[in-house]
């Protein structure tokens, strides 16, 4: 079988890793909160930690096998040929950037040419003879990625490589990393708890919670269609409201949360009286101007509320709305859209959710 095959269990302090997946192309992002087993999974892939049971294989090479009735396999890290980038880059401080990149291939005849190629690909050719202390954090991270790529790995492991970088530097580095992975036809596993990194880098996403995968799929599938309330909450773009199916209005189901009625397409499989959790996507919440009629497509899920606060940033605005029944939801929009809405704090407005911005899950 081609690609990365993983099936492993490993006891941790508060829970056990117990996961299985196959990854055949591009970047797989392991996404979850801190302490959910993401880095421990990466360490098992690298051989820095050993699972209790299972199989780890890349293409036709088995790196770990621990199963009853099968010969045990334990390939050490240095024989796996993996590129590994840790959070802070971990460059050798006494070496120049060029020497850092060359470290794993320093005995190869084409090492100098390979180093020049990678420094150019990472946009740091002019910094080749500088030491890590003489360059910025983003430039250090670029050198660390170049060093990991130097050995021409089939698998690249990335443990939060963009952490602590400012937004512009991070965006450029994400773009260049994705380009490098595609240019070299690598498999990569990226550990992150940042949703922006998922959108910018991931081809596939595995959502981890307490050592288990609760959803695995293509990037857009996972981001747009979380399979459970827990997955929606983990992704951070949804507000969860407990409700009950109140009935039907023509082709629409009516779900009541508190004193608010929300309408979902009648194709949903619901039953009157059913207890559900309603997920309201933050990016689907719209502020309605008082001098503009509510568009018909928004009128079904439009309620009066008050704007409690707004965090205005260069590329996004996050705001909180309190509806008349006291429930609060968070919205997110672009700065120019927010400016056009001309909303003022504590002012009563109509707030609407676009079709597709509501999903329901069985309440447990």
Same domain, 256 and 220: no
**Residue 111: φ, ψ to 5°:** -60, -45
Q: Which residues contact 127 (CB under 8 A, 6 or more apart)?
A: 97, 119, 135, 139, 143
223: part of which helix (H) or strand (E)? helix 219-224
Shared-domain flag, residues 92 and 201: yes
Question: What CATH number does residue 180 fall under?
Answer: 3.40.50.300
Lookup: tokens for 11:
């006891």
Strand ranges across the sheet with 53-58: 16-23, 4-11, 53-58, 61-66, 73-74
Q: How far is C-alpha 172 from the chain's CA centre?
A: 17
Residue 68: the pLDDT is 84
Statement to judge: residues 180 and 294 lie in one domain:
no
Residues 40 and 99 in one domain: yes
Q: Which residues pair with 304 in a beta bridge?
A: 350
* DSSP letter, residue 108: S
- Judge if 226 and 242 occupy the same domain: no
Order of strands across the sheet that contains 328-333: 285-288, 348-353, 302-312, 317-323, 328-333
Number of Cβ within 10 Å of residue 98's Cβ equals 21
Q: Are residues 43 and 183 in the same domain?
A: yes
User: Residue 5 pLDDT more than 90?
Assistant: yes
pLDDT in tens, 246-271: 999 999 999 999 999 999 998 888 99
Residues 6+ apart with CB under 8 A from 94: 131
Residue that wins the pLDDT comparison between 3 and 314 = 3
Q: Total structural domains in the chain?
A: 2
Spatial distance between the Cα atoms of 360 and 241, rounded to a whole number of angstroms = 9
Residues 204 and 224 in one domain: yes
Where in the sequence is the domain holding 254, given as residue range(s)? 238-362
State residue 237's pLDDT score: 86
Same domain (yes/no): 49, 197: yes
pLDDT digits (tens, 9 = 90+) for 336-359: 999 999 989 999 999 999 988 999
Q: CA–CA separation, 290 vs 283, rounded Å?
A: 20
- Cα distances (Å, whole numbers) of residue 40 to 20, 35, 36, 114, 124: 14, 9, 9, 31, 31
β-strand pairing of 187-192 with 26-31: parallel
Task: Quote the pLDDT of residue 1.
Answer: 56
182: pLDDT strictly greater than 90: yes
- Residues 84 and 221 grouped into a single domain: yes
Domain boundary among 203, 230, 257: 230
Over residues 27-69, the pLDDT tens digits come to: 999 999 988 999 999 999 999 999 999 999 999 999 999 988 8
Whole-angstrom distance, CA of residue 186 vs CA of residue 168 = 25
Same domain, 308 and 212: no
Does residue 89 carry a pLDDT above 90?
no
pLDDT at 305 over 80: yes
Mean pLDDT of 277-293: 94
| pLDDT tens-digit readout, 198-255 | 999 999 999 999 999 999 999 999 999 999 999 999 998 899 999 999 999 999 999 9
Structural contact between residues 310 and 317, judged by C-beta atoms closer than 8 angstroms:
yes
Chain-wide mean pLDDT for the chain? 93
**Which percentage of the chain shows pLDDT scores above 70?**
100
Tokens of 33: 């909160």
| Whether the Cβ atoms of residue 215 and residue 207 lie closer than 8 Å to each other | yes
User: 249 pairs with which residues across the strands?
Assistant: 252
The pLDDT, as a whole number, for residue 112 is: 93
Residues 209 and 312 in one domain: no
> Residue 120's pLDDT band (boundaries 50, 70, 90)?
very high
pLDDT tens digits, one per residue of 140-179: 999 999 999 999 999 999 999 998 888 889 999 999 999 9
Whether 181 and 202 map to the same domain: the answer is yes
Residue 74's pLDDT band, with cuts at 50, 70 and 90, is very high
What residue has token string 């928004």? 298
> What SS3 class is residue 48?
coil
pLDDT at residue 8 in the model: 96
User: Can you list the alpha helix ranges (DSSP code H) found in 34-163?
Assistant: 38-46, 97-102, 111-121, 137-150
* CA 355 to chain CA mean position, Å: 24
Residue 113 pLDDT exceeds 60:
yes
- CATH code at position 249: 2.40.50.100
Res 61: pLDDT: 95
């Amino acid at each position: 079988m081609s690609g990365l095959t993983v099936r492993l269990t490993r006891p941790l302090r508060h829970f056990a890793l117990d996961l299985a997946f196959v990854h055949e192309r591009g970047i797989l992002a392991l996404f979850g909160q801190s302490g959910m087993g993401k880095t421990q999974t990466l360490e098992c892939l690298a051989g820095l930690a050993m699972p209790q049971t299972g199989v780890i294989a890349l293409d036709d090479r088995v790196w770990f096998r621990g199963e009853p009735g099968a010969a045990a396999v334990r390939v050490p890290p240095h024989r796996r040929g993996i590129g590994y980038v840790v959070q802070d880059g971990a460059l050798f401080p006494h070496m120049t950037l060029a020497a850092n990149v060359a470290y794993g291939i320093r005995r190869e005849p084409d090492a100098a040419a390979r180093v020049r190629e990678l420094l150019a690909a990472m946009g740091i050719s002019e910094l080749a003879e500088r030491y890590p202390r003489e360059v910025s954090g983003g430039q250090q991270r670029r050198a660390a990625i170049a060093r990991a790529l130097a050995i021409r790995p089939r698998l690249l492991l990335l443990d939060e490589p963009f952490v602590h970088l400012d937004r512009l530097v991070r965006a450029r580095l994400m773009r260049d990393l994705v380009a490098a992975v595609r240019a070299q036809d690598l498999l990569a596993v990226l550990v992150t708890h940042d949703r922006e990194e998922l959108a910018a880098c991931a081809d596939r996403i595995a959502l981890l919670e307490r050592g288990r995968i609760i959803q695995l799929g293509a990037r857009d599938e996972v981001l747009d269609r979380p399979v459970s309330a827990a997955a929606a909450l983990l992704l951070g773009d949804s507000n969860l409201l407990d409700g009950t199916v109140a009935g039907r209005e023509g082709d629409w189901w009516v779900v009541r949360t508190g004193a608010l009625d929300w309408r979902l397409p009648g194709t949903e499989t619901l039953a009157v009286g059913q207890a559900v959790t309603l997920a309201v996507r933050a990016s689907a919440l719209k502020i309605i101007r008082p001098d503009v009629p509510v568009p018909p497509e928004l009128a079904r899920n439009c309620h009066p509320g008050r704007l409690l606060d707004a965090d205005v940033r260069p590329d996004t605005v996050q705001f909180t709305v309190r509806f008349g029944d006291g429930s609060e939801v968070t919205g997110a929009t672009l700065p120019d859209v927010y400016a056009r809405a001309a909303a003022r704090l504590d002012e009563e407005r109509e707030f609407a959710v676009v079709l597709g911005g509501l999903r329901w899950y069985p309440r447990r």
